Structure 1
């Protein structure tokens, strides 16, 4: 991810970086969903899924191998510089930290939450899937919007939307599977757009030679 994002930043400009990262995250989330669907449709006790994964990894090299675009600049050795990342963009540094905590917690405990409130296994799977799908669907609109206005406003709006639906889930304590799925999907639509906007904002202020450091 670090190499891909630094390459994208090298090609993107401040005028289209939000859109570029929105498309990038949309493809990423769609691929994650595709991988989950493959697992659901295969035999996890056989080696077939590992073979399919290996084939897909090989196929992923083809677009880069046949591309006529210029190659990225050679990567430089970089070290983690938390102070420098914060100095580059305090908003993005804090946002990425909080986004990682929030989305990581949901990805780890979302299914546990569904089981605790008593919805079915099928509804839990649908809930977890729709959160990602909703987030993927919102990537491009949010990215384009951030290209036309201050990204911090878009970031704040998306954070407010995610917080609002998270609080609603907590206060309403829904037990209906459909209601839970709708609320959590709305949460995902906002929460899963935050990272791409925060990273785009950070790279708006970074020097070209610091793209790898910022992406890392």
Structure 2
């Protein structure tokens, strides 16, 4: 793994700084918006707007790169991100922040796609899986470090908005000055949603539900923390716990997924995540419980994304795996757009604990649907070969998803297609 990092250190350093910038603006807007008197509905719209931009970018940025090239897209989108981040504390209006979040979501997805295409080009068949692991660690580390920065600054001032702008600008230097050549850019067309549902209804349903869970974690955690009276430092610690849980549990869960019926593991993770949410729903005034529940839900939901992707690939021919990844990203993105809007409404109607009830319902629904699917078509996994688990974040772009598909394909060249569940 060290060899992978040293071989592509510029890309990883640049990505780390990008994730610091993105992690800062996500938490910071929730805190500052609440301080400025934005309603829960207004903040939920602002948070949802990021995923609208991200979803559209995952579809249109590849075409933009083919037309004008990696460098121009990278530079243009980076400049827009820096400009929008500086404008946030100047334009303290929900409508302005909503527009800014759409732009930010579109541009962050665009720069991720550009950087990740370089990473994919730099990786070899032998180290692609390790490169994916290092990439995920860098992503999580950047977000966690961003929370530490938030805890050390003044939310009401301008400095915390300038820092992510600077971090994003600096992130381009190691990537653009890297000696790596410009990669050829090609993406695979998505499979139709109905074909994905036919291949694995459980994976499609789970991806949609997880989109809402992830959006609540990424967009509304700081809002929830502020509303229940946590300090800025406590909120930063709480948000960090979500991603630390994901990082720590990703690999043990991946190890288990290659050695047991994945449906049992999917159901177990979903129910554990739902139970963790219910604990915080019923015990609302204990900071330790809030942090524990955040770590449990983050530790279950993020690996569950990669697990569902691997599970779906058990039922796809290898030539369809890359195409399937785009469809699953779209399903997950639609769920992510709806997530902040629904959780914001629940917090208005039933109180701040609606944040936890929302994630509990979604996680428990995945587990319940998994049990239902097992009654529809039993599966004898003990006698079949399955594709290996690959660590993929719920914030993936089409490039990372396709890198994961290449890991699956290369490890399962001789696997036979399996009948749909």
Q: Above 0.5 in TM-score?
A: yes
Q: 1:159 to 1:50 in 2, by over 3 A?
A: same
1:165 has 2:280 as partner: no
**Are 1:115 and 2:226 matched, yes or no?**
yes
Matched, 1:211 2:335: no
Cα offset for 1:160?
A: 0.9
SS of the residue aligned with 1:56? helix
Q: Find the aligned partners of 2:149 and 2:320 in 1 and give their Cα distance.
A: 37
What aligned pairs does 1:84-99 form with structure 2 within 5 A after superposition?
A: 84-99=195-210
Question: Residues 53, 20 of structure 1: CA spacing in aligned structure 2 closer, same or farther, 3 A cutoff?
Answer: closer
Match of 1:101 among 192, 195, 212: 212
Q: Contact 1:169 / 1:180 at 8 angstroms: preserved in 2?
A: yes
User: How does the TM-score come out when normalised to structure 1?
Assistant: 0.74
Give the alignment of 1:168-183 within 5 angstroms.
168-171=279-282, 173-183=283-293
* Greater shift in the superposed pair: 53-62 or 155-164: 53-62
Which structure has more relative contact order (CA 8 Å, sep 6+)? It is: 1
What is the aligned counterpart of 1:184 among 294, 298, 306?
A: 294
Query: 1:129: which partner in 2?
Result: 240
Give the CA deviation at 1:11.
5.5
Between stretches 137-146 and 198-207, larger displacement belongs to 198-207
Unaligned 5+ residue runs, structure 1? Answer: none
CA contact (8 A) 1:131 1:188 kept: yes
- Count of matched residue pairs: 203
Counterparts of 1:60 and 1:176, CA distance in 2: 43
- Mean Cα deviation higher: 30-39 or 196-205: 30-39
1:57 offset after TM fit, Å?
4.1
Residues 203 and 59 from structure 1, CA distance in 2 versus in 1: closer, same or farther, beyond 3 angstroms? Answer: farther
CA distance 1:34–1:188, shift in 2 (3 Å) = same
Alignment partner, residue 30 of structure 2: none
Return the index of the structure with the highest Cα Rg: 2
- Please tell me whether the aligned partners of residues 241 and 291 of structure 2 are also in contact (alpha carbons under 8 angstroms): yes
Deviates more, 1:173-182 or 1:146-155: 173-182
Q: How much does 1:164 deviate?
A: 0.4
Cα offset, 1:62, TM superposition: 8.4
Q: TM-score, normalised by structure 2?
A: 0.41
Q: Is the 8 A contact 1:25 1:196 kept in 2?
A: no
Query: Could you tell me how far apart the structure 2 residues matched to 1:105 and 1:36 are?
Result: 16
Q: 1:46-65 alignment to 2 at 5 Å?
A: 46=162, 49-60=164-175, 65=180
Q: Distance in 1 between matches of 2:210 and 2:293?
A: 19
Distance 1:187 1:33 in 2: 16
Q: Tell whether 2:309 aligns with 1:199.
A: yes
Distance in structure 2 (CA, Å) of the matches to 1:45 and 1:20: 31
Residue range with higher mean Cα deviation, 116-125 or 138-147: 116-125
Shift of 1:146: 0.4
